[in-house]
Chain A
């Protein structure tokens, strides 16, 4: 197993601390956005010929013990892409997040025809097949829905597994900002209409 930290242009000690802990790091010289960072992780996994890849947000909102749950469907060959859904068993989700996510899911359904309970989740598992076929253009938050569209376009099996979401003040501060939804949504529309 290889743990890689994609440092998306952080000027703090992220890279140093990750390496001190013994993990590989891939460092973007400048900040390119969440989608770009995930894609770099995917490229890294492809280079290493990984059988399976898990994306895990660095803001402390995921529980590492959920990884086992979300890789299981891929091991069982029941899915190529597993989304860890924070809302499937929604408890303790702040109301604003609940509505924002509902809106994102609705737009994903409307534009892409994909039903999901958590289109924006950062905890995902990709099978090798998914790694090789999923290609997305979104470089910021808008890539999340695009992954689902790509999966659908390539006839990948998608599964959702309920996961825990840890909403601390830190994770909320580091995660998607509510107001980001507007530019994210507009960029998403422009890409669709272009």
Chain B
């Protein structure tokens, strides 16, 4: 079981910078969620982690050591798109895995395929997109991997199968497996992940424990008597990540001590001050959306 350390990862494809100066540590045994808009660099990050792509700069280390081919005995990967061989049956894919990895249980694979209602005798080309994803998930979870890297593992699946995948992940997490996954379903990330990182345009914009982020990040909303009221001092407060002004309504995005900040707002003259809890989706949207015209982004802090 190893800790994955990504240091200042940079990957460019010609003129396009997919990932830039990305630093991340994934502690062993954690469930780590990676969220971000399409094209943010999640898949590129996974590819660099697995030596599927060569970083332009930066390093990826497993317990301090670069990835060795032998490590793949205990690393399982579910890519974002189907990589199955169209002309082979699902059963032949199972046989392929059985011969490749020491720790692979064909019985478990068949069990999982049955749960997903996939017939092993079918050729991959006759499977729908969701069923292909489910097949790759089954093949990955039938291995005794200590690190699972899952890129959109529920895409194309119906809600029942999505829940099955989530349960598989939780089962693995209970066994101490390290899981790194990306998903557009923030609800799934909220349930399964302990730590998350938000990626946007190739950079990490926010990282931390889900509970800490939820506990610390709040919106403090207040209404000032008129538009020119000063925010004296608030914009330089370390605990304020962002200020959005919309006429007389001011909203602060706090990273901590929401109560204090609310009190300060009141002392500056705001009324109807309230503290709004943010769920992960809100936190994510704030992290990746540009500030509106009248807003001041004071700093993007990282917990």
- Does B associate with A? no
